[in-house]
Structure 1
Amino acid sequence: MKFLTTTALALVASASFAAACEVTLRSSDTHPDGYPTVEGVKAMAEEVRERTEGRVCIEVFPSAQLGEERDTIEQTQFGVIDMVRASFGTFNDIVPVTQTFSLPYLFRDVNHMHAVMDGPIGEEIGAAFEERDLVVLAFYDGGARSFYNSQRPINGIEDLAGMKIRVIQNDVFVDMMDALGATATPMPYGEVYSAIQTGVIDGAENNFPSYDSSGHAEVAKYYTLDEHLMVPELVAMSKTTWDGLSPEDQEIIREAARNSSTTQRQLWADAEAASRANVEAAGAEIVEGIDKQPFIDAMAPVYEKYATSPESQDLVERIRATE
């Protein structure tokens, strides 16, 4: 007797899934099964299937099965894939307005980010995506990045002075660290643990789940909730696919997507809380309630360099004015 491989079983399951539906939409995510974004789209899929009585189905492919974010975005634009979940950061070259959302300390807190994305500004962003053959269905939470280090608690901007902090290879991040008085040290993520352990760098920056799962809390026990970067994530559909749906199905999918954002955000909050509990139990010291204003004020040269057009400057002001 021959046994089917895992891939073959997946193909058989996929074929069976599609056979039960009149319309099957394929959705891509680079995160693994069980991750909040994956589970958010699954919640959306479940609501769509229930409300259409099994007529419209969304099949979620996690773990980059259909390709990495950049590739799957392009495939979605061309209608090869029906849906994609991706970070705003990946769209910077495709939808230029998304670049503004990579500016440090743009959002006051996570509730502010949600208010911005769920309001008129979010609708404007969605319109910009349609010009690139993508229909935005929902905005998800990608978490907040904060500083952690092995040397001392960061209670104020002066505590960052002279520190060597790992950042991703991005000019905005490098300039952010310069403005804060620290030294930006770009390096691959996989090298961060040993680099902190051996003193090559003093720390890094990331969200709680990454700080926990990477083991960085073992070598950098001071974590400061400054939340300098919150980059939204989104779920978008190919405009080609969207235009092929009936108005009734479009409305069902839009409503299910918006409902899924609530589910995804709660799952992300739960993941953050669990990771925070883990690192605190392991001895990490969490610094919160700091005065962010000096950090924000220090970003003036960064905004002058990267928010150069009247449109981006206006967007920044309207985001900051959002309650």
Structure 2
Amino acid sequence: MRDLRKVARKALSLAAAAGLATTVVSGAALAVDRVSAVHAFPEFLVYTKTFLAMVDDINARGEGIVEIQVRGGPEAIGMFQQPQAVRDGVVDMVHTPGSFYGASVPEIDAMVAARVTPMEARANGGAALMDQVHQSRFNVKHLGWIDGGVQFHIYSTQEFKFGDDGVIDLTGVKLRDNPIYHAFFEALNATTASMKATEVYSALEKGVVDAAAWTSIGILDLKWDKFLKYRIDPKFYNTDIGVIFNKDSWESLSPESQKLIQDVVAEWEQKSYDARQQDIAKDAEELQKRGMQFVSMTPEASEIYVTKANDAAWGRMKGRLEEMGGMENYDKLRKLYYKE
């Protein structure tokens, strides 16, 4: 009888231990922070590939701590609606150009017209100030500037025309527009049509537009080189692609999750910057092999052209800040991002 009682007590102890273990495991599973995310561009573009690789890095290093679940790209939420979606908490995290919500956060134009790298902006306090204004204006944290060091060109189906000052004259040119460079195109007298990147191929094919601005890389992925045969130099502006995170969602994460995500994003600023410099050289070589002509303006005209671009971006920011408030940040941002 005594032996039976011992067996019974042992069985109860084992059952209790198993229950405790189950509770601990279950608790640990519940403790993993789940993060929802979307990206602005289709998966085949290099910028999205960077983001997805960065997410994989976070998930691998954050196993048991945090997991980012990517819901998709513009097919899930329209690319121009994504910034509002993360602001309002529909999703936790978005990978998107800052210019898509520049009317709400005018300070993003400092990245557009920057003369510093993402790493320099992080080191000199520019990234911290950019994060601060995002939190106060848009209810999001700005975690990092990804795929920096990539600039824009205007590409055309037709030969470029030039004004008396040697700068390209876009009068009468039907140019695909985008919030990042709209102010500049207005200054060049272009006739613009705003559309998503996914709509441009068809627009070029049908003659709805005969020119488009895009970065030094990606034209081949988009297959726009089938129509675009001329590229104008010099380059202007910078990609302002960032990772933004709903502020309330961020504050609900564990400190461990926050540190891991922020550290990995900062690391990918350098990784993606280095990788894109190699892509720029490769794409330029391939475009020329396929017959695209790279047209250069004179040094004097190039200076006018780039100055006009930068003045348009800084002028747009200044005008918005004068209306919305926050002019105290204008000089700070110029010092941190423009290095005059």
Q: TM-score, normalised by structure 1?
A: 0.73
Equivalent in the alignment of 2:42: 32
Paired residues of 1:164 and 1:202 also in contact (CA < 8 A): no
Pairing 1:317–2:334 present: yes
Equivalent in the alignment of 2:131: 126
Equivalent of residue 193 in structure 2, options 175, 180, 186: 186
Equivalent in the alignment of 1:254: 262
Q: For 2:152, give the aligned amino acid.
A: R
Decide which moves more: 156-165 or 36-45: 156-165
Give the match's secondary structure for 2:90: coil
Equivalent of residue 81 in structure 1, options 81, 87, 91: 91
Paired residues of 2:39 and 2:74 also in contact (CA < 8 A): yes
Q: For 2:86, give the aligned amino acid.
A: T
Structure label with greater radius of gyration: 2
Equivalent in the alignment of 1:307: 318
Decide which moves more: 162-171 or 55-64: 162-171
Equivalent in the alignment of 1:91: 101
Equivalent in the alignment of 1:9: none
Aligned residues: 296
Give the match's secondary structure for 1:90: helix
Q: For 2:229, give the aligned amino acid.
A: K
Paired residues of 1:148 and 1:224 also in contact (CA < 8 A): yes
- In 1, Cα distance between the equivalents of 2:250 and 2:180? 35
- The CA RMSD measured in Å over matched residues stands at 3.7
Paired residues of 2:99 and 2:179 also in contact (CA < 8 A): no
Q: For 1:22, give the aligned amino acid.
A: V
Equivalent in the alignment of 2:14: none
Q: For 2:101, give the aligned amino acid.
A: F
Q: For 1:76, give the aligned amino acid.
A: V
Paired residues of 2:126 and 2:337 also in contact (CA < 8 A): no
**Equivalences for 1:146-295 in 2 at 5 Å?**
146-149=153-156, 150-152=158-160, 158-161=166-169, 164-169=172-177, 176-177=184-185, 179-180=187-188, 183-186=190-193, 188=195, 189-190=200-201, 192-194=203-205, 203-287=211-295, 291=299, 292-295=302-305
Q: CA 1:157 to 1:274, structure 2 compared with 1: closer, same or farther past 3 Å?
A: farther
Paired residues of 2:99 and 2:108 also in contact (CA < 8 A): yes
Q: CA 1:299 to 1:88, structure 2 compared with 1: closer, same or farther past 3 Å?
A: closer
- In 2, Cα distance between the equivalents of 1:300 and 1:53? 43
Q: CA 1:161 to 1:289, structure 2 compared with 1: closer, same or farther past 3 Å?
A: closer
Q: For 1:25, give the aligned amino acid.
A: V
Equivalent in the alignment of 1:54: 64
- In 2, Cα distance between the equivalents of 1:73 and 1:172? 14
The structural deviation recorded for 1:98 is 2.3
Paired residues of 1:164 and 1:185 also in contact (CA < 8 A): no
Equivalent of residue 69 in structure 1, options 79, 84, 95: 79
Q: TM-score, normalised by structure 2?
A: 0.70
Describe the superposition over 1:110-146 as per-residue Cα deviations: whole angstroms up to 9, x where unpaired. x546534664222111101112321122111374221
- In 1, Cα distance between the equivalents of 2:47 and 2:227? 29
Equivalent in the alignment of 1:3: none
Q: CA 1:136 to 1:112, structure 2 compared with 1: closer, same or farther past 3 Å?
A: closer
Describe the superposition over 1:92-118 as per-residue Cα deviations: whole angstroms up to 9, x where unpaired. 23323225555xxx235xx54653466
Structure 1 segments unaligned to the other structure (5+ residues): 1-18
